[in-house]
Chains A and B, each alone.
Chain A
Amino acid sequence: MNWNTWLPVLVVASSLLPGLIIFFLREGSHRLRTVLNMAGAVLKLALVGQLIWGVFHEQVYESRWTLAPGLDLVLHADTLSVLFVALSTVLWLVTTVYAIGYLENSPHRSRFFGFFSLCVSATVGLALAGNLFTFVIFYELLTLATYPLVAHRGTPEAMRGARIYLTYTLGGGMLLLIGTVWLHVLAGPAVFVEGGTLHRLPEQYHPQLKMIFLLLIAGLGVKAALVPLHGWLPQAMVAPAPVSALLHAVAVVKAGAFGIVRVVYDVYGVNFTDQLGLLGILGVVAAVTIIYGSVRALYQDNLKKRLAWSTVSQVSYIALGTAILGPVGTVGGIVHLVHQGIMKITLFFTAGNYAETLGIHKVSEMNGVGRRMPATTLAFTVAALGMIGIPPVAGFVSKWYLGLGALEAGMAAWVMPVLLASSVLNAAYFLPILHRAWFRDPAPAWPAEHLPAARLETHAALLWPPVVTATLALAAGLLAAAPYSPLEWASLIAQREYGL
């Protein structure tokens, strides 16, 4: 048992063990809980750092545990898993700080942080999954870990939202399971190999492989909020802001998108998927989702709901990038996994700040908030500009690569209008918010001023996370050409996928 076998397990354990311990802590053990959370997060960061370095230098990290004959639980670190793990770890650290501030004095914190840690463990396990079987296991564990978080407040609305969430995700999980079992019977364990393995199967299996692909994408598409499986996402907004941030930037939605990337690149292989005519279907669904999500976002007054619909739209860029054949499109989709995560989490943090500090839940209540909470609104602005695709924020980089990739793949005719329309729609629902926040006069009184203005505009633990992530979003765009940047890493992934 050497280090290379243990490292993936430790990465998962670094949040699993603190989480399990936290369940048994009393409500009042505030300090111990914080120490456990932060220690786990920092440890995980250190381990992931080593993982990044190792994978870059082509070290092999794999842990294997046999659950049943022919069914192995495999944790394997390749370039794609490292990307998602790194994103999850960094954002978990930030969200933990935010959650500690957000949930101060609210009940059931031990239960919350316990399931919070389980959620991250499931996400990291999913990222490190080495075959489809392991992926499915962690996918379902993620559903189980996130349900209590959505239901946390216990109000009738929360329970209703949680019920809808569960219905969608368990249903999707079943579809994914059927597809995986079918594939397993047909072709053995679907190990994730760059370039895919299914193109080697004889041609008589192709109709079945097409059905399996549709089942897998449908199952994954529920979590990735592809239309028409997106219904749970706006309903899940009843959860506390740290949960929305985690669900929308890191865990659930990204897990679905990540799964789609895995299936297309590492199970089927992108060329084979194109050969079966499935890439086109994926592209159409992605495009429809992008447009539909943005259109629905226009009509939302509730800030979190508007951001939710924006997520529905934005995550499909990843699917779109997957559907564009060629390394450039691939890079665009994969790098957007990181960029969208950082930008969206900033937006949700700031939304949470507005709600917690001033009781603002609606866009119409946001007049002049820029003067009262400048740092928060600045972070919001940076992230919103990134969403629209304005340089130098990271979102621009992803859209640039998607457009370029579409041109190279000869799909520009319909991809470009989609990208353009989406940017316009994004501007249409973000710019008015910015205008309101900065240039309008505030109403005589805020809806519910919970935290009066002091030295800092709001609680420190609520303020620093969005500032940090907004800076990261800016840095990811400005320093996109630097080594180890998300873009460089995405290019590395594409290189290894296409065998360049």
Chain B
Amino acid sequence: MLTAQWLYGLAGCLVTGIGLGNALLGSSLLKRVLAINVMGAGVFMMLIAVAYRGPDLAPDPVPHALVLTGIVVAVSATALALALARRLDREQDDG
């Protein structure tokens, strides 16, 4: 139904906003990384909402592809960020 689609999409916007806010204003590194992931989740929700084409048609595959790509990227980037953070942590402990 259209209402559910809009609701889902708006929720996605909200989640994106929350993520953005915390990413900009977050107090610790970990919080920021998590916030960016939340923001990503919000964008993915928006994309999934866009993919809905009504009860008769199958959902549009293109946004799904975008979401999958986005998830992969987010995971890789988060992994890299955490690795760097751990490295920094270790250097600070040594030094």
Question: Is there any pair of Cβ atoms, one from A and one from B, under 8 angstroms apart in the complex?
Answer: no
* Residues of B near any A CB (own CB < 8 A): none
* Residues of A near any B CB (own CB < 8 A): none
